[in-house]
A and B are shown apart, each in its own frame.
Chain A
Amino acid sequence: MLQGINLACVRGDRELFKNINFSLEAGGLMQVHGPNGSGKTSLLRMLCGLSNPAAGEIRWCDKAIHSLDGDYFAVMTYIGHLSGTKDDLTVMENLRISSALAGSEISADQAKEALEYIGLSGREALPVKVLSQGQRRRVALARLLVCKTSVWILDEPLVALDVAAVKLIQGLLEQHLLQGGMVVMTTHQEIDIAAASITQLQLA
């Protein structure tokens, strides 16, 4: 169970939000809404442990995530604004290396399968720098197919994706939620994802 308790965020002199509370059970989806600059990305970075909240605490299974460190990172996958891919590496290398660094090594076959599913078959050996924005996004999202984590924190995962890819990701998220995973995401696109419980978090 992922919990946020009285979270607050301060950027410079400005308080972006305060007293944010939520609790996310297995199979739960939380969508974070808010205008630009309302602190959506800041909140997501807190939830994945990259930054610390100015006040409050984030708990995973009733323990503060900063006390869990590696144990929390082992069950969590974050895909942010930045693609997290290297331009000079091929699609295949990117996926295998990023998975290995995230703690789950995968074979070339597994990687090939995942890339095929996400619609990049035939492009495995291309360096990422020749891909389009949408295709780069797919390379980043391919990690979700091969990781074995239960908490997915996704910052605008649908940006630059075409209709078919959005459908694909939607299906992927629904399947993950069905299997008892959790998803926290922000998106400006309207998307209906079926889930056991859906929380809508509105930031001012």
Chain B
Amino acid sequence: MLMWIIKRDLLLAMRRQSDVFTILFFFIIVVSLFPLSVGPEMNMLRTMAPGVVWVAALLASMLSLGRMFSNDYVDGTLEQMLLSPQSLSLLVLGKALAHWLVTGIPLVLMAPILGIQYDLPIEALFVLTITLLLGTPVLSLIGAIGAALTLGLRGGGVLVSLLVLPLYIPVLIFGAGAVEANMAGVGYDAHLSLIGAFLLMSLVFAPWAAASSLRVSLE
């Protein structure tokens, strides 16, 4: 069941590859705008890098949330999912995982390259990638709640950012914080464990909350 929904969403993403690339290029453009706006001074860029990459990842992940449920809502496949004898939470989990595979993973893979533009040391690049790897699934999971609540509403895209971005703050703090800690020569284990804890918590609660939201939105 979980496999079927993931397979389905990946298949759909494959047939619409341009969507995946749009998000990825959005991420690249946002990160590249910062040196243009604050100047190419390398020391400053190096301190900014973790925050910039993380904020850009937040925005990119959020922008793609609209599509998580809305296409399925429009063509009626979502209401069929609600009528499935299997647990809706599991289905939502599958959709969030598929969303992460399609939008999160490309960001994780692209991040080290963007980090090089900011002259991050090798080890910091590694930490940045690890935090994104652990943190982006949290974004997809929490985002699923926002996407489910704003389903079919006018101005849903902007609204979802209001709902979801404040909830992203802890991940942002610890994600960017880990890289900063590493660059400052301090340990970053605590940061990673906390992001890991957020991931576990959102794995447990977010699908359930998003499933209830879907039932509310489709009633």
Contact = CB atoms under 8 A, between A and B. Distances in A.
Interface string B75-100: 11101111111110001000000000
B85 A103 contact: yes
A88 B19 CA distance: 13
A80 B219 contact: no
A87 B75 contact: yes
Ranked 8 nearest A-B pairs via Cβ:
A82-B76, A74-B85, A84-B76, A88-B15, A103-B85, A73-B85, A70-B85, A51-B219
Contacts, number: 77
Contacts of A102: 80, 83-85
A30 interface: no
Interface stretch (B1-9, B160-168, B184-192, B202-210): B1-9
Interface bin, chain B: 20 to 34
A195 B215 CA distance: 34
B4 A78 contact: no
A72 to B, nearest CB: 8
B76 A81 contact: yes
Nearest to A136: B75
Given A82-B75, A85-B75, A100-B1, A73 B83 contact: yes
B154 interface: no
Given A51-B219, A88-B16, A71 B79 contact: no
Contacts of A87: 75
A48 B85 contact: no
A86 interface: yes
Contacts of A71: 85
A199 B207 CA distance: 41
A56 interface: no
Interface bin, chain A: 20 to 34
Given A70-B87, A84-B79, 6 more contacts: A50-B83, A70-B85, A82-B79, A83-B75, A85-B77, A86-B12
B77 A98 contact: yes
Given A74-B85, A100-B1, A50 B218 contact: yes
B11 interface: yes
B33 to A, nearest CB: 33
Interface string A65-100: 000001101101010111111111100010001101
Contacts of A85: 75-77
A49 interface: yes
A81 B43 CA distance: 60
Given A100-B1, A100-B4, A84 B80 contact: yes
A52 interface: yes
